[in-house]
Amino acid sequence: MEWRAEVETTESLTDPQIVDKWMRTMTRGIPFYLLVPRGFKESAQKLTQDGSIVIICIYEYTAINGVCHIL
């Protein structure tokens, strides 16, 4: 595996167990990326910092005319 990504929703980011989920998902030595809804990047950054989760990058996404766009 070259990298791993988790796509989160507004609902999943408010789940009290989300940091534990990320910790279970991470694999040592495998880059870990997060994709979060537009406007939630700062919230996700705070969660990763508070949980000591090492993230390579957090990307935001949005849907325009039914198409998902990574920002």
pLDDT in tens, the chain (71 residues): 799 999 999 999 999 999 999 998 888 889 999 999 999 999 999 999 999 999 999 999 999 999 999 99
Six-digit token string for 31: 């880059």
pLDDT on residue 63: 92
- Domains of the chain, by residue range, sit at 4-70
d(CA 71, CA 53): 22
Residue 14 amino acid letter:
T
CA separation (Å) from 26 to 39, 53, 57?
Answer: 24, 9, 14
pLDDT on residue 11: 96
Six-digit token string for 19: 């940091």
pLDDT on residue 42: 97
3-state secondary structure of 5: strand
pLDDT on residue 18: 95
- Record the pTM: 0.88
Q: How many CB atoms lie within 10 A of CB 28?
A: 5
